[in-house]
């Protein structure tokens, strides 16, 4: 059975609308469009590609529009920035703050989020032993997804 990206998009938009409503945040049409573009597939997407696709929908869209939307979506946990690829991916669990790790397929570009809570705690504990206060952890694991391994 083929993966239904529209279901992912609809779920992400519904969650974002609900969270914004509950927190009194404005989920503007531009923000919604950018989130839809990011969730269009499960591959990382760069800001310029987001802008290019946004301009196909709204010719008046300018870089600041896309970057403001990305900042809002990042700050509120609706998307993640993939540091090593300088790109973005949708967050499947925007309801709670969490430490996460990203699995990135080097062949097809698939990106999956996983959450190993013990790993985050171990990193925090190790940092504290070095008198270091951890604010954020970014763990990106590069390799091959199941489909690319079998091809």
Question: Are 50 and 56 a contacting pair, CB within 8 Å?
Answer: no
Q: Compute how many other C-beta atoms are within 10 angstroms of the C-beta atom of residue 84.
A: 11
Confidence of residue 125 (pLDDT cuts 50, 70, 90): very high
- φ, ψ of residue 91 to 5 degrees: the values are -95, 120
pLDDT higher than threshold 60 for residue 8: yes
Whole-number Å distance between alpha carbons of 48 and 32: 17
Spans of all domains in the chain = 5-90, 101-150
CATH 3.30.1490.190 fits 101-150, yes or no: yes
In the CATH scheme, what architecture does the domain 5-90 have?
Answer: Orthogonal Bundle (1.10)
Confidence of residue 3 (pLDDT cuts 50, 70, 90): low
Whole-number Å distance between alpha carbons of 151 and 148: 5
- Render pLDDT for 93-114 as a digit per residue (tens, 0 to 9): 888 766 789 999 999 988 998 8
Integer angstrom CA distances of residue 109 from 42, 49, 50, 112: 8, 15, 16, 10
């Amino acid at each position: 059975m083929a993966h239904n990206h529209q279901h992912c998009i609809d779920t992400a938009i519904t969650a974002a609308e609900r969270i914004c409503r509950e927190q009194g945040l404005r989920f503007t049409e531009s923000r919604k469009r950018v989130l839809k573009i990011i969730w269009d597939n499960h591959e990382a997407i760069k800001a310029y590609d987001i802008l290019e696709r946004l301009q196909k929908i709204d010719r008046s869209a300018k870089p600041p529009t896309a970057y403001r939307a990305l900042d809002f979506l990042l700050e509120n946990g609706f998307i993640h920035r993939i540091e090593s690829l300088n790109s973005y991916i949708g967050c499947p669990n925007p309801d709670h703050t969490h430490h996460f790790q990203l699995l990135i397929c080097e062949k097809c570009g698939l990106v999956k989020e996983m959450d190993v809570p013990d790993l985050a705690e171990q990193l925090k504990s190790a940092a504290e032993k070095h008198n270091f206060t951890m604010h954020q952890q970014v763990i990106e694991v590069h390799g091959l997804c199941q489909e690319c391994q079998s091809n």
